[in-house]
């Protein structure tokens, strides 16, 4: 009950204070308005709280509370002048310059990293291609050895036509498989010896100058793949030897 009565008394006191302040403000406005219209000076006794005697007769208004430190910090800061504005703009410009530098560094880093990955992927593709080509080459070379053995067997079966035809059919089937893998035999390259595609196993002397450095016979077939020599052709080459030099070599041997 006492709390309720105290609260009611405070409410009534606040209401009275507000009504009193409104009356004072009304008199001030009326006095100021009349002085403005008439051009007279406002009498001091008509101004509320102009002297202590008038202030003593009136109820003293409640003091305005000062703002706390937290409220001061929360209030927006006002600009202190052109110098502060210029300083702030300089700080913003430096911040933007720093951001631009960071962005450029990041862009250069990403570009260098992208180039490094491109080089890495290219090397990986090249390595994979070389590795597959190496595996293919080893397999093809093994098949070429099989082709050579079939040729030897085919020559050995000259007196057995049926067996020879069977081996010949197998060898031709193997050649078809090599053609499917872009590997083909060289065949007859011409009469002259070609050191880029042929390999001389031995030489045969000849007295005919026209036969010098020509192919006498093919010992082992050569093969090419995609225009490149996969295995050179093994041949026997004619070597010119005059009769005089032959006689001199014979006399020296005697």
Mean pLDDT to the nearest integer, 94-100: 82
For the segment 26-83, what is each residue's pLDDT rounded down to a tens digit? Answer: 665 566 555 554 555 555 555 544 444 444 444 444 554 555 666 555 555 544 567 7
CA nearest neighbour of 135 among 181, 198, 171, 177: 181
CA distance 41 to 9: 41
| Domain 184-254 annotated CATH 2.30.22.10 | yes
Length of the chain: 254
CA distance 182 to 135: 15
Residue reference for tokens 């006689």: 247
Q: Are 203 and 185 in contact (CB under 8 A)?
A: no
Residues 6+ positions from 49 with CB-CB distance below 8 Å:
55, 58
For the segment 146-196, what is each residue's pLDDT rounded down to a tens digit? Answer: 999 998 998 899 889 899 999 999 999 999 999 998 899 988 877 899 999
Q: Whole-structure pTM over 0.75, yes or no? A: no
Please list, residue by residue across 195-215, b when 16 or more beta carbons sit within 10 angstroms of its beta carbon and e when fewer do.
eeebbbeeeeebeeeebeebb
């Amino acid at each position: 009950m006492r709390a309720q009565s105290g609260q009611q008394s405070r409410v009534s006191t606040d209401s009275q204070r507000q009504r009193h302040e409104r009356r004072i403000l009304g008199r001030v406005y009326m006095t100021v308005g009349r002085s403005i219209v008439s051009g007279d000076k406002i009498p001091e006794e008509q101004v509320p709280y102009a002297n202590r005697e008038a202030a003593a007769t009136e109820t003293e208004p409640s003091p305005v509370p000062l703002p706390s430190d937290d409220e001061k910090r929360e209030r927006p800061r006002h600009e202190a002048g052109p110098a502060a504005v210029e300083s702030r703009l300089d700080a913003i410009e430096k911040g933007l310059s720093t951001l631009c530098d960071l962005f450029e560094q990041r862009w250069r880093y990403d570009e260098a990293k992208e180039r490094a990955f491109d080089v890495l992927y290219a090397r990986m593709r090249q390595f994979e291609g070389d590795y597959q080509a190496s595996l293919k080459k080893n397999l093809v070379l093994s098949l070429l050895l099989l082709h050579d053995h079939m040729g030897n067997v085919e020559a050995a079966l000259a007196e057995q036509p049926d067996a020879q035809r069977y081996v010949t059919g197998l060898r031709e089937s193997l050649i078809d498989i090599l053609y499917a893998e872009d590997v083909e035999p060289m065949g007859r390259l011409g009469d002259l010896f070609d050191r880029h595609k042929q390999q001389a196993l031995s030489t045969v002397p000849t007295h005919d100058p026209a036969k010098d450095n020509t192919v006498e016979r093919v010992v082992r077939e050569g093969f090419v793949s995609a225009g490149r020599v996969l295995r050179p052709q093994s041949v026997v080459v004619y070597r010119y030897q005059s009769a005089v030099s032959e006689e001199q070599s014979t006399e020296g041997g005697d």
